[in-house]
Amino acid sequence: MRKWTLFFVMILCSCATEKIYQRKTAFNPSDYEPYNKPGNATITGQAYATLRGGSARYAAGKTVTLVPATSYTAEWIGQISQSKAAIAPADERFLKYEKQCLADDLGRFTFTGLPAGRYYLACPRFWDARPNIGVIESIPRTGSALTMPVELKDGEFKEVTLSP
């Protein structure tokens, strides 16, 4: 029992001292005007990683995020795909433009009703094998994310693969 208590205290301490990346790009509301209306485009796809043996590890049950591609979100995408540091919370005005869905058992996801424009897709890569760490899913903002840009035309149905 004492070993487990020490283990959890160590995890909590490491989380408390985690560095937080401070955003440098300001939220610009005019960048989001084209995304402030309903649309008729769709993005559908599958998120997975290919393991060393060649088998696929699907992003089953993982949250897939879709955001308009702006300078504000480009900074966020750059950080989550390359850094292990936590990121300062987003400007509250941005949150209404962020769309999320859960991938199904095969890592498939769909976003509908989108206006034409440029977007970023992101999905966490927490399924990587990490020996001797059984709580990796509960430690936020560790690892990196699968990310990709997507451009949609009005009424377009686009199928994508979100994979490293």
Q: Is residue 99 part of a domain?
A: yes
DSSP one-letter code for 88: P
Provide the pLDDT for residue 21. 84
Q: Is residue 59 part of a domain?
A: yes
**Nearest one of 114, 109, 106 to 41, comparing CA atoms:** 114
Beta bridge partners, 108, equal 46
Beta bridge partners, 150, equal 119
Q: Is residue 139 part of a domain?
A: yes
**Which residue is it, tokens 């058992």?**
105
How many domains are there within the chain?
1
**Which residue is it, tokens 């029992």?**
1
pLDDT tens profile 77-131 = 888 777 666 788 899 999 999 999 999 999 999 999 999 999 999 998 654 444 4
Q: Is residue 72 part of a domain?
A: yes
Q: Is residue 7 part of a domain?
A: no
Residue 68: half-sphere exposure toward Cβ, Cα within 13 Å: 22
Domain CATH code at residue 32: 2.60.40.10
Q: Is residue 10 part of a domain?
A: no
Residue 3, pLDDT > 90, answer no
Q: Is residue 12 part of a domain?
A: no
Provide the pLDDT for residue 19. 81
For 16-20, 46-50, 72-76, 104-108, which range has the lowest pLDDT when averaged over its residues?
A: 16-20
Instruction: List the domain range (segments joined by +) for residue 125.
Output: 20-162
Note the pTM of the prediction, 2 decimals.
0.77
Q: Is residue 35 part of a domain?
A: yes
